[in-house]
C-alpha cells in the first residue's frame, strides 16, 4: 500500500523544515526538506497508493480514485505517520485537472486597469462564475526586447501576454478541511502542481524546455523559458488509461494489466505483441498532442525546444523516453528533483529512479526552504 523512506535519524533537527504534499488521483507523495546552514537536506519522503482506501477489498495501486474527505484524510494521516513527518509548515499541490492554466493576450495598460481587463477576458475561458474560483495572473516578460523602445524611440509594445491560473474554491476548501482534521500543521499553503514540478525539475535552463508530466489521470505539457510558462496543455489520457485499455482488451484484472503495462511498455520486441500494440495506440494520441504543442510554440516564438524533461510515474513506461527523443530529435531526460537536496550517498540510485514521481512534492517543499 505504501512506500516510505525515512532519513530523520541521519540529520539534526535545527533549521526551517517544510513538507511538500502531492495529492494525486492515484497516490499521495510527500517530501520533507530542511534548510540548515545554507544547505537543503532531505529528511524523509514517502508514497501511499489510494486505490485500497477507495476499495479496501479490491483497490490496487495505479487506480484512479475520487476519495471522500474522511478517506483522503485517513490516507494522508497514515502516510505522514509512517514517514515520520515532523514539519509544521505544509505546502499542498492542487491538481492541474481541477484548475485551469491559460495565456491571454491583452493591451498593455497600467497595473490597476490591467487587472480588470484580465478578469473580463478570463471569463471566456472559465466555465463557472468567477466568484467560484481563485484567480491569479502574471505578466509574461518579453525576453526579446532589451530596452529598444527607449533607445530607438519606437512605439511601445501594444499587447502583453498574461499567464492566468484559476482554481475552484471548493478544491481549496476540501484541502482546508483535510488539513484541519489532521490538526498537524501550523501553516498550510497551496500551489498548482505544474509550477511545483517546474521548480523541482528545472535548474539553469535558458533555452525553451518542455516539461512533460505523465500522471495517472492525464498528461500535462508545459513549455518553459527563463522560468516562465509560455505554453500549457492538458491531455486527459494518462497512465491509468493505458492500463484500463489493456484490462478491457485482454479481459484481465486491473492489477495484472498494470503489471503487463510496466513490463511491455513501448518495447516493440517484447513477445507480448498484442499488449504492445494496445499501449502504442494509446501513446500515439499523446505523441500527436505533443507534436501540436511543439508546432504551435515554434511557430509563435520562432525558436526550437531545446530539451524535454519527464516527470510523473507514467514517464517510466519502458522505451517511452527513447521513442520521444527519437521521434522529435529533442534531448529527453528524466527529472532529478532529489539532486537539489543533500542525502546519503547510498540512496543515490533509489532517489534518481524515484525522481520523476516526486518532482511535484520536492518542488513544493523547495518553495518553503528556498
For 103-164, the DSSP string reads EEEEE---HHHHHHHHHHHHTTT-SS-GGGEEEEEEEEP-TT-SSHHHHH-PPPPSEEEEEE
pLDDT in tens, 175-206: 999 999 999 999 999 999 999 999 999 988 88
CATH number, domain containing residue 22? 3.30.420
Q: What share of the chain is helix, strand, coil (3-state, %, to 5)?
A: 45, 30, 30
pTM: predicted TM-score of the whole model, two decimal places: 0.88
- Same domain? For 10 and 133 the reply is no
- Same domain? For 224 and 162 the reply is no
- Same domain? For 297 and 232 the reply is yes
The residue-averaged pLDDT of 343-356 equals: 94
pLDDT > 90 in the chain, percent: 69
40 domain-assigned: yes
Would you place residue 130 in the very low, low, confident or very high pLDDT band (cuts 50, 70, 90)? Answer: confident
- Return the pLDDT at 204: 83
pLDDT in tens, 41-54: 999 999 999 999 99
CATH number, domain containing residue 135? 3.30.1490.300
* In the predicted structure, residue 60 carries a pLDDT above the cut 60: yes
Q: Which letter does DSSP use for residue 342 in this model?
A: B
- Return the pLDDT at 233: 92
- Same domain? For 158 and 76 the reply is no
- Same domain? For 40 and 129 the reply is no
- Same domain? For 269 and 319 the reply is yes
- Same domain? For 213 and 123 the reply is no
Residue (of 276, 207, 275) closest to 247 by Cα position: 275
25 domain-assigned: yes
CATH number, domain containing residue 221? 3.30.420.40
What is the extent of the structural domain holding 251?
A: 203-335
Place of cell 528556498: 370
- Same domain? For 129 and 247 the reply is no
28 domain-assigned: yes
What Rg do the C-alpha atoms of the chain give, in angstroms?
21
72 domain-assigned: yes
295 domain-assigned: yes
187 domain-assigned: no
User: What is the rounded distance in angstroms from the CA atom of residue 197 to the CA atom of residue 168?
Assistant: 20
> Which residues make beta-bridge pairs with 163?
103, 138
- Letter string b/e over residues 315-349, b meaning 16 or more CB atoms within 10 A of that residue's CB: bbbbbbbebbeeebebebebbbbbebbbbeeebee
- Return the pLDDT at 157: 57
> Which residues make beta-bridge pairs with 6?
44
Q: Which letter does DSSP use for residue 338 in this model?
A: G
- Return the pLDDT at 137: 87
Biggest alpha carbon–alpha carbon distance for the chain: 72
Would you place residue 310 in the very low, low, confident or very high pLDDT band (cuts 50, 70, 90)? Answer: very high
180 domain-assigned: no
Residue (of 240, 200, 348, 224) closest to 293 by Cα position: 224
- Same domain? For 288 and 348 the reply is no
- Domain total of the chain: 3
C-alpha dihedral, 54 to 60 to 61 to 66, nearest 10° = -20
- Same domain? For 122 and 69 the reply is no
* In the predicted structure, residue 153 carries a pLDDT above the cut 80: no
Q: Is 145 exposed, middle or buried (0-12, 13-18, 19+ CB in 10 A)?
A: exposed
Highest mean pLDDT among 82-86, 119-123, 163-167 belongs to 82-86
Range with the poorest average pLDDT among 95-99, 154-158, 174-178, 242-246: 154-158
Would you place residue 143 in the very low, low, confident or very high pLDDT band (cuts 50, 70, 90)? Answer: low
193 domain-assigned: no
Range with the poorest average pLDDT among 43-52, 108-117, 215-224, 314-323: 108-117
- Same domain? For 68 and 29 the reply is yes
- Return the pLDDT at 197: 95
* In the predicted structure, residue 34 carries a pLDDT above the cut 90: yes
Amino acid at each position: 500500500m505504501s512506500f516510505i523512506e525515512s532519513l530523520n535519524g541521519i540529520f539534526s533537527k535545527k533549521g526551517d523544515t517544510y513538507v511538500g504534499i502531492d495529492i494525486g488521483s492515484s497516490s499521495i507523495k510527500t517530501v520533507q526538506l530542511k534548510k540548515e546552514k545554507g544547505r537543503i537536506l532531505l529528511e524523509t519522503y514517502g508514497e501511499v497508493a489510494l486505490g485500497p482506501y477507495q476499495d479496501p477489498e479490491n483497490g490496487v495501486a495505479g487506480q484512479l480514485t475520487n476519495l471522500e474527505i474522511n478517506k483522503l484524510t485517513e490516507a494522508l494521516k497514515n502516510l505522514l505517520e509512517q514517514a515520520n513527518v515532523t514539519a509544521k509548515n505544509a505546502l499542498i499541490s492542487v491538481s492541474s485537472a481541477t484548475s485551469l492554466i491559460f495565456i491571454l493576450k491583452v493591451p498593455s495598460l497600467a497595473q490597476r486597469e490591467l487587472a480588470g481587463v484580465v478578469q473580463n477576458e478570463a471569463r471566456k475561458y472559465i466555465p463557472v462564475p468567477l466568484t467560484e474560483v481563485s484567480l491569479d495572473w502574471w505578466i509574461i516578460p518579453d525576453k526579446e526586447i532589451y530596452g529598444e523602445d527607449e533607445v530607438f524611440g519606437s512605439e511601445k509594445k501594444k499587447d502583453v501576454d498574461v499567464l492566468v491560473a484559476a482554481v475552484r474554491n471548493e478544491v481549496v476548501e476540501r484541502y482546508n478541511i483535510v488539513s484541519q482534521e489532521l490538526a498537524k500543521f501550523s501553516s498550510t499553503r497551496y500551489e498548482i502542481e505544474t509550477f511545483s514540478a517546474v521548480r523541482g525539475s528545472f535548474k539553469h535552463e535558458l533555452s525553451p524546455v518542455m516539461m512533460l508530466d505523465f500522471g495517472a489521470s492525464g498528461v500535462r505539457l508545459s513549455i518553459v523559458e527563463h522560468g516562465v510558462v509560455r505554453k500549457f496543455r492538458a491531455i486527459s489520457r494518462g497512465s491509468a488509461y493505458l492500463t484500463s485499455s489493456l484490462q478491457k482488451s485482454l479481459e484481465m484484472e486491473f492489477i495484472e494489466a498494470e503489471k503487463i503495462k510496466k513490463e511491455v511498455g513501448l518495447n516493440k520486441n517484447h513477445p507480448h505483441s498484442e499488449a504492445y500494440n494496445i499501449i502504442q495506440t494509446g501513446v500515439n494520441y499523446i505523441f500527436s498532442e505533443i507534436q501540436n504543442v511543439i508546432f504551435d510554440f515554434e511557430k509563435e516564438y520562432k525558436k526550437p525546444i531545446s530539451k524535454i524533461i519527464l516527470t510523473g510515474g507514467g514517464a517510466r513506461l519502458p522505451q517511452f523516453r527513447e521513442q520521444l527523443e527519437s521521434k522529435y530529435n529533442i534531448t529527453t531526460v528524466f527529472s532529478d528533483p532529489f539532486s537539489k537536496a543533500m542525502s546519503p550517498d547510498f540512496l543515490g540510485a533509489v532517489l534518481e529512479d524515484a525522481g520523476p514521481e516526486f518532482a511535484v512534492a520536492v518542488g513544493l517543499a523547495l518553495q518553503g526552504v528556498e
